[in-house]
Amino acid sequence: MTLQFDFIIVGAGSAGCAMASRLSEDPRNRVLVLEFGGTDAGPLIQMPAALSYPMNMPLYDWGFESDPEPHLGGRRLATPRGKVIGGSSSINGMVYVRGHACDFDTWEEMGANGWGYRHVLPYYKRLETSHGGQNGWRGTNGPLHVTRGTKWNPLFHAFRDAGEQAGYGVTEDYNGERQEGFGDMEMTVHKGRRWSAANAYLKPALKRGNLELIKGALVRKVLIENGRAVGVEFETGGKIREARANREVILAASSINSPKILMQSGIGPADHLQDMGIEIVADRPGVGANLQDHLELYLQQACTQPITLYKHWNLVSKALIGAQWLFFKQGLGASNQFESCAFIRSKAGVRYPDIQYHFLPFAVRYDGQAAAEGHGFQAHVGPMRSKSRGRIRLTSGDPRGKPSILFNYMSHEEDWEDFRRCIRLTREVFDQEAFAPYRGKEIQPGDHVQSDDALNDFIREHVESAYHPCGTCRMGSKEDPMAVVDPECRVIGVEALRVADSSIFPQITNGNLNAPSIMVGEKASDHILGKDPLPASNQDPWINPAWETSQR
């Protein structure tokens, strides 16, 4: 039996959940969501402090990794993507960053008309309920709850104070008027639980009779007849089935899987599709191109006082934290522990921040591995706007095959210069008076690593992905041969098919990508439904008045 719907959404991730909710608000719209992953029930996903577990579990993660990266000594870097309802919002670090106002004005300059900051700010306000954000700049009754930590550890305050002592400004809300400066980090946590797109949007919407979710569904291709998307072919329980869309098919399957599904459907670079034995429907060379990501380093310092999370790195402590969270949704388990942060500019002449910091009162890897010997603290730091670009390609015509992912990290000389500057600026912050009561030896890179060459070696060996892949179905004008979707997210050259997720970003935004991905789902919903966009904002974001002559 063929399934018949008005809209089919592929992927129950950050953008897909938002669209499922908005498109099903009208009871006349029958909406189907297809998700390859399964349920997000259970403490490992719902408990914020357990964030390092789900991204390393094949149950919840697609398990992608990059091809050997030529500029990183042939290292393969992990590329986790959520394979679960909520998508990557169910396995990420829960950090909430809208991006800088200038990011979206840049999108508009790159051909994404109607996606400037004045256009997207109303959608950010619509999607969020901000707890403690700046009045007038933040949403107060949206589905996504955004909160701040308790800053239980004095090191959170030390980081902010050290930034101020080093001559940087303080921002009371980096998601408000002013991003630049040191301040409190925000997280998608509500009442002690991970507030994923599934919790915020999908689960409430599934109570409606006109929205259906099929889990365990691997989408093989979009069905296209006479240049129009009419449905999808998917595999579930070992059977291949079809679902038909009377109105539109929308891909929201991630910056890795959305271009992969387009190529499997015959939409992509013609020569590559021919090599894979796939019939060409639309020659779009931009599909799978323009791949971007953020890289980061963990700069670690020993702590002379026994106050860091290291004291809880044992089974008894973990059990107590888990029990407190399980019964009361409180305590250390209710935070992602990223409670202080900063956005700074790397040098004079840079108009808006191009370096991001996450601060953590613990010396540990993001994936929860290799805790340092003893007490320490660390800053995750990395440049925001690398010029390096990579690509996604198919490895075979088989929809079950893993794609070839090459980020081409650090392929620009500027990338190396930027990272060396990140390390030196961070050392300067850690050297401030605010850290004097806590500062031990530098664990990583180590005091002996000072010259450009020594820093380059450290970077090559230790740089990690921040897990922010995007850009592979770039939005732009119809005349742009490398654009994949137009500014209403419609795939150029195919009717009734859209892409709406982080793959449409023309350029990567400042900071973590969950917030802008959800915003894309919100804004795309209005385009899909043919609604007038929300009225543009006339609010003016803060830009450092001395940006041309001063670094801080």
12 assigned ligand-binding residue: yes
- Residue 38: helix, strand or coil by DSSP? strand
DSSP characters for 485-542? B-TT-BBTTSBTEEE-SGGG-SSPPSS-SHHHHHHHHHHHHHHHTTPPPPPPP-----
Which backbone phi and psi does 127 adopt, to 5 degrees?
Answer: -85, -15
261 is annotated as contributing to ligand binding:
no
Q: Is 6 labelled a binding residue?
A: yes
> Which residues pair with residue 176 across a beta bridge?
none
**By the 8 A CB rule, do 219 and 259 touch?**
no
Alpha carbon 322 to its chain centroid, in Å, reads: 27
Neighbours of 545 (CB within 10 A): 8
Q: Which residue of the set 157, 358, 468, 527 is catalytic?
A: 468
Residue 29 known to bind ligand: yes
Q: At what angle do helices 14-23 and 514-528 cross, to 10 degrees?
A: 30
**10 in a known ligand binding site:** yes
Does 94 carry a binding-site annotation? yes
527 is catalytic: no
Ligand-binding site membership of 13 (annotated)? yes
Q: For residue 343, give both structure tokens.
A: 């956005």
Two tokens, residue 313: 């790195």
Query: Is 332 within any annotated ligand binding site?
Result: no
The answer to whether 7 is a known ligand-binding residue is yes
For residues 203 and 376, the answer to whether their CB atoms sit within 8 Å is no
CB 16 within 8 A of CB 10: yes
Residue 74 assigned ligand-binding role: no
Query: CB within 8 A of 294, min separation 6: which ones?
Result: 356, 382, 383, 384, 386, 465, 466, 468, 508
Look at residues 489, 468, 470, 466 and name the one whose alpha carbon lies nearest to residue 478.
489
Is 251 known to sit in a ligand binding site? no
Question: 364 labelled as ligand-binding?
Answer: no
1 labeled part of a ligand binding site = no
Q: Is 548 labeled as ligand-binding? A: no
User: Beta-carbon neighbour count of residue 481 at 10 Å?
Assistant: 11
Cα–Cα distance, 129 to 524 (Å, whole number): 20
19 is in an annotated binding site: yes
The structure tokens listed for 386 are 């690398």
Residue 138, marked binder: no
Ligand-binding annotation for 537, yes or no, is no
Q: Is 18 annotated as a binding residue?
A: yes
Nearest to 150 by CA among 395, 342, 331: 331
Was 449 annotated as part of a binding site? no
Known binding residues for FAD:
6-35, 84, 92-95, 219
Give me the active site residues, please. Answer: 468
Known binding residues:
6-35, 84, 92-95, 219
